[in-house]
């Protein structure tokens, strides 16, 4: 996110920017006399699904995660918090939300407040079926339940290893007292072996895939 957009989003959370003119907002962000810069970055925040914007009606409001009505259809806004296989573990913090994905509430389990979305990065799980015939391909939206941090052997999880996020099949190797994270791909990927004391945490279980 551009620094100006981050600044505007933070301001929108704590004050009613809709009451101010673009020129007044520009002055607040040290862009005095350049209201078009403010307008451009507000439009970009709107495209990312981070704010509600109607300049004619004086509406500049941050979008909150939750249920919204849209032409007689009920949708739920899930936060997109980054991509798996790149970025530190802090991508799962609320302040790192990059946008929202509006999904029909009928597609989601009951515990919607525990769900977040990652963008799959790479082909390492392009043969892993989350549901019958539905695999995780590069660029897909992966829906994760952050409340499920104690997976069963065979679950697909988001694992954070040394601060890096990855999506893999979780296996318990009790014989060797270790956890194995397996790729399932048309390409060759070596498994990841996790031993006691390693910097490792499960950030949630993959519960659905929304195709790109």
- List active site positions: 124, 168
The whole-angstrom separation of Cα 26 and Cα 37 is: 8
Q: Tell me the C-alpha to C-alpha distance, in Å, between residue 59 and each of 16, 56, 169, 182.
A: 8, 8, 45, 48
- Give the Å distances, CA to CA, from 180 to 17, 118, 174: 50, 22, 10
User: Who contacts 165 (Cβ-Cβ below 8 Å, separation ≥6)?
Assistant: 82, 83, 84, 85, 86, 87, 89, 91, 92, 118, 158, 159, 203
| Residue among 167, 201, 183 at smallest CA distance from 89 | 201
Q: Give CA–CA dist 60/20, Å, rounded.
A: 10
Tokens coding 211: 């195709």
């Amino acid at each position: 996110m551009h620094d100006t957009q981050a600044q505007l989003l933070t301001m929108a959370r704590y004050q009613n920017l809709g009451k101010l003119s673009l020129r007044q907002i520009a002055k607040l962000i040290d862009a005095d006399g350049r209201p078009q810069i403010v307008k451009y970055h507000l439009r970009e925040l709107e495209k990312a699904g981070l704010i509600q914007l109607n300049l004619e009606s004086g509406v500049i409001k941050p979008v909150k995660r939750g249920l919204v009505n849209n032409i007689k259809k009920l949708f739920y806004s899930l936060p997109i918090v980054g991509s798996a296989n790149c970025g530190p573990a802090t991508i799962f913090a609320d302040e790192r939300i990059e946008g929202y994905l509006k999904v029909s509430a009928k597609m989601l389990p009951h515990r919607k407040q525990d769900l977040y979305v990652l963008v799959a990065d790479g082909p390492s799980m392009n043969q892993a079926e989350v549901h019958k015939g539905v695999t995780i391909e590069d660029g897909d939206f992966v829906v994760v339940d952050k409340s499920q941090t104690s997976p069963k052997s065979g679950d697909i999880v988001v694992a954070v290893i040394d601060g890096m996020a990855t999506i893999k099949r979780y296996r318990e190797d009790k014989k060797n007292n270790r956890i194995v994270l397996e790729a399932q791909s048309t390409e060759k990927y070596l498994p990841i072996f996790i031993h006691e004391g390693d910097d490792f945490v499960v950030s949630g279980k993959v519960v659905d895939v929304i195709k790109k």
